[in-house]
């Protein structure tokens, strides 16, 4: 009754229900690889057949030798040689094919999960550390791909191996079957205990791997900061502490593995020695031959091994479903809606030459993790050939407003729309902003966002067909050509990781040039000129205004010195967007 209550409680707790949901999720991938799984199954079945055939040949060889039938020895010796040669060639070919299939399936599943992570709702995704995401995508996805290929084939192979070995034992001498089953109760009990421990171990191991990955990723990304603050000793000590916890956890797992191995080995030895003793007795009594005894010992081991493999499937299921659950946490979060992709593309193609305006109307927004509203009934607008500035203290919502425009986050009230032309009228065509509309935006965020590679590679990452002349024109608008043309390789000069090899101001100008060359109707600059001197900043913004392309530009800035060249300035205050007049702008400049 206590056991029944235990399982009822587990069912109520939802463990079996969640495992079933995770299994169905894995099946969603497995069904696409039916022929691959069939190939693995056939290989395993061939292996079972060859193993049984070898057992029969070995039996005959032993009987021939012990019976001194020298005339038969050469024939069976040749058969053994041929078998080994064929087995060697077959094994190498199948290993090559298996490796190809395994890598192909692993790559395809990882690519699919990668694409799903990229279209996951941005705000939901930010609750996970990038190190944790990396571990889930790499380790857990690999576990799923291996399980998809191997799990069902292994179940079939183990069952066939067990049935065939058992059938042969029964056929030749049923008494040996008793010894083959001696270890099953111990294996069953041990597997139940292992299942509970396996769940906890998998979860702990995944959490620790994510923690280690996150620490390493942040440390290597911030080496400059670590050096500047003289934090090398602290980070080394922190790493040693994490390594100590990791080693302690792994040693604990190893101790459990040792005890499990000892118990399984002890049971295996008892079964083997019992079978061996019984075989000697049967040979001594004349019931069987030496060759048959040798075959029975092999079959007994095969039978016990098959049963142990079948019982070990339970921990494998736990491992698979744990990985599936960790991936489901990510890929089953709300996804961005790209259903208006065609409409957005058509809208941009239709109006890109006359320009596109944007409008924020009575927007109210609060972050999911927030307790107060960032905006309440906030409104603003911007037109082509305009530069509109957002100003205000740090943390007041400048970057949040740009995220709303990019549809990275969504308002609780109000609307964010775009429409054609300079002014609203009866012929204006409107489109609600959503992820599909991002193709109409170019965005330069705070910080360094350059990719490793050449300057030309960075430019063509947003416009693959850009000519060298187009790249140079964009660099000139961004005031970057003045230093790029002096480089030995020009636009083919290498950019190191995180913009290495260039100053912060140069990296910012290259990032702005990349945004400009895309020729999106709307350009968002989020503190993107913070590392530039005021003179260069003003010159860059004037270049954008003088550019013939009808671009709508919105900038966020802490420095009011460039506000006099902006068409409109909105100050974020009291959760609203307030338009500043010339007197208020002059006061901001004086007080700066």
Q: 444 in the Ramachandran plot: left (φ > 0), alpha (ψ -120 to 50) or beta? A: beta
- Only one residue has tokens 């010339």, namely 582
As a three-state string, the secondary structure of 63-80 is: HHHHCCCHHHHHHHHHHH
**Percent of the chain beyond pLDDT 70?**
86
CATH assignment at residue 559: 3.40.50.300
Q: Which residues pair with 380 in a beta bridge?
A: 360
Question: What pLDDT shows up at residue 380?
Answer: 95
How far apart (Å, rounded) are the C-alpha atoms in residues 450 and 508?
Answer: 9
3-state secondary structure of 592: coil
Residue 144 within any structural domain of the chain: yes
Question: What pLDDT shows up at residue 198?
Answer: 64
What is the distance of C-alpha 21 from the center of its chain? 20
How far apart (Å, rounded) are the C-alpha atoms in residues 318 and 206?
Answer: 13
**Domain identity same for 389 and 290:** no
**Domain identity same for 444 and 305:** no
Question: What pLDDT shows up at residue 569?
Answer: 94
Angle at 388 between CA 384 and CA 393, to 5 degrees: 160
Mean local confidence (pLDDT), 262-290: 73
Q: What six digits make up the tokens of 153?
A: 């084939």
- From 309, 331, 353, give the residue that closes a domain: 331
How far apart (Å, rounded) are the C-alpha atoms in residues 126 and 370?
Answer: 14
**Domain identity same for 500 and 562:** yes
Q: Which residues contact 497 (CB under 8 A, 6 or more apart)?
A: 452
CB-based contact 431:346 (threshold 8 Å): no
H or E stretch covering 358: strand 356-365
How far apart (Å, rounded) are the C-alpha atoms in residues 532 and 525?
Answer: 13
Angle at 469 between CA 468 and CA 470, to 5 degrees: 90
**Domain identity same for 326 and 345:** no
Q: Count CB atoms within 10 A of the CB of residue 188.
A: 13
The overall average pLDDT reported for the chain is 82
- Residue 12: pLDDT above 50? no
CB-based contact 305:165 (threshold 8 Å): no
As a three-state string, the secondary structure of 143-187 is: HHHHHHHHHHHHHHHHHHHHHHHHHHHHHHCCHHHHHHCCCHHHH
**Domain identity same for 563 and 528:** yes
26 burial (CB, 10 Å; 0-12 / 13-18 / 19+) is: buried
Residue 336 within any structural domain of the chain: no
DSSP strand pairing (387-391 vs 552-556): parallel
CATH assignment at residue 110: 1.20.1560.10
pLDDT per residue as tens digits for the range 473-526: 999 999 999 999 999 999 999 998 777 788 889 999 999 999 999 989 999 999
- Residue 97: pLDDT above 90? no
Residue 412 vs residue 127, higher pLDDT: 412
**Domain identity same for 73 and 137:** yes
**Percent of the chain beyond pLDDT 90?**
28
**Domain identity same for 346 and 231:** no
DSSP strand pairing (576-579 vs 413-420): unpaired
Residue 3 within any structural domain of the chain: no
Q: Which residues pair with 390 in a beta bridge?
A: 556, 570
Q: Which residues contact 182 (CB under 8 A, 6 or more apart)?
A: 267, 270, 271, 274
184 burial (CB, 10 Å; 0-12 / 13-18 / 19+) is: middle
**Domain identity same for 415 and 324:** no
Q: Categorize the per-residue pLDDT at 92 as very low, low, confident or very high, splitting at 50, 70 and 90.
A: confident
Q: Categorize the per-residue pLDDT at 315 as very low, low, confident or very high, splitting at 50, 70 and 90.
A: low
Residue 13 within any structural domain of the chain: no
Note down the domain range covering 273: 19-331
- List Cα–Cα distances, 370 to 15, 123, 375, 575, in angstroms: 32, 12, 12, 14
How far apart (Å, rounded) are the C-alpha atoms in residues 214 and 290?
Answer: 61
- From 272, 301, 331, give the residue that closes a domain: 331
**Domain identity same for 405 and 325:** no
**Domain identity same for 416 and 475:** yes
Residue 286 vs residue 337, higher pLDDT: 337
**Domain identity same for 500 and 476:** yes
Question: What pTM was computed for the model?
Answer: 0.75
pLDDT per residue as tens digits for the range 334-347: 889 999 999 999 99
**Domain identity same for 85 and 121:** yes
- From 280, 305, 331, give the residue that closes a domain: 331
Q: Which residues contact 528 (CB under 8 A, 6 or more apart)?
A: 444, 445, 446, 508, 511, 512, 555
Residue 6 within any structural domain of the chain: no
Which range has the worst mean pLDDT, 75-89, 139-153, 226-240, 378-392?
Answer: 75-89
Q: Work out how many domains the chain is built from and give that number.
A: 2
Rg of the chain over CA atoms, in angstroms?
35
């Amino acid at each position: 009754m206590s056991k029944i209550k235990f399982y009822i409680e587990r069912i109520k707790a939802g463990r079996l229900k969640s495992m079933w949901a995770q299994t169905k999720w894995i099946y969603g991938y497995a069904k696409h690889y039916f022929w691959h799984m069939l190939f693995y199954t056939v290989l395993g079945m061939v292996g079972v057949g060859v193993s049984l055939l070898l057992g029969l040949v070995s039996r005959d060889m032993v009987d021939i030798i012990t019976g001194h039938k020298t005339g038969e020895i050469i024939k069976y010796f040749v058969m053994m040689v041929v078998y080994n040669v064929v087995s060697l060639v077959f094994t190498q070919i199948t290993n090559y094919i298996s490796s190809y299939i395994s890598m192909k399936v692993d790559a395809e599943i990882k690519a699919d999960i990668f694409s799903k992570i990229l279209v996951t709702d941005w705000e939901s995704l930010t609750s996970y550390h990038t190190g944790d995401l990396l571990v889930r995508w790499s380790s857990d996805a690999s576990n799923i791909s291996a399980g998809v290929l191997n799990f069902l084939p292994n179940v079939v192979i183990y069952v066939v191996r067990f049935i065939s070995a058992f059938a042969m034992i029964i056929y030749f001498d049923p008494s040996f079957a008793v010894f083959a089953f001696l270890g099953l109760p111990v294996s069953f009990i041990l597997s139940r205990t292992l299942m509970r421990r396996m769940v906890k171990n998998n979860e702990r191991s995944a959490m620790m791997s994510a923690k280690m990955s996150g620490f390493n990723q942040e440390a290597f990304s911030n080496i400059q900061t670590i050096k500047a603050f003289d934090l090398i000793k602290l980070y080394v000590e922190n790493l040693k502490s994490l390594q100590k916890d990791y080693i302690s956890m792994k040693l604990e797992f190893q101790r459990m593995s040792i005890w499990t191995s000892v118990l399984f080995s002890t049971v295996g030895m008892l079964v083997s020695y019992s079978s061996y003793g019984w075989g000697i007795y049967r040979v001594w009594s004349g019931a069987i031959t030496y060759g048959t005894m040798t075959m029975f010992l092999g079959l007994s081991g095969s039978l016990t091994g098959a049963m142990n493999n079948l019982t070990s499937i339970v921990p494998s299921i736990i491992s698979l479903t744990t990985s599936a659950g960790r991936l489901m946490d990510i890929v089953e979060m709300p996804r961005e809606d790209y259903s208006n992709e065609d409409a957005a593309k058509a809208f941009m193609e239709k109006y890109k030459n006359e320009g596109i305006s944007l409008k924020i109307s009575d927007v109210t927004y609060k972050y999911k993790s927030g307790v107060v509203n960032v905006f309440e009934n906030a409104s603003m607008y911007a037109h082509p050939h305009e530069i509109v500035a957002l100003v205000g203290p740090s943390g007041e919502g400048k970057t949040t407003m740009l995220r709303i425009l990019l549809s990275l986050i969504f308002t609780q009230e109000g609307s964010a729309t775009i429409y054609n032309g300079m002014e609203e009228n009866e012929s204006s065509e409107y489109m609600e902003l959503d992820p599909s509309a991002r193709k109409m935006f170019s965005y330069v965020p705070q910080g360094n966002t350059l990719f490793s590679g050449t300057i030309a590679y960075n430019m063509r990452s947003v416009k693959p067909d850009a000519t060298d002349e187009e790249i140079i024109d964009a660099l000139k608008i961004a005031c970057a050509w003045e230093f790029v043309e002096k480089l030995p390789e020009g636009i083919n000069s290498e950019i190191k990781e995180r913009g290495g090899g260039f100053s912060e101001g140069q990296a910012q100008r290259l990032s702005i040039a990349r945004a400009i060359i895309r020729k999106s109707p709307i350009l968002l600059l989020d503190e993107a000129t913070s590392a530039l001197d005021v003179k260069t900043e003003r010159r860059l913004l004037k270049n954008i205004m003088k550019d013939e392309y009808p671009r709508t530009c919105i900038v966020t800035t802490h420095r009011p010195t460039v506000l006099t060249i902006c068409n409109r300035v909105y100050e974020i205050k009291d959760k609203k967007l307030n338009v500043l007049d010339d007197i208020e702008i002059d006061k901001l400049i004086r007080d700066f």
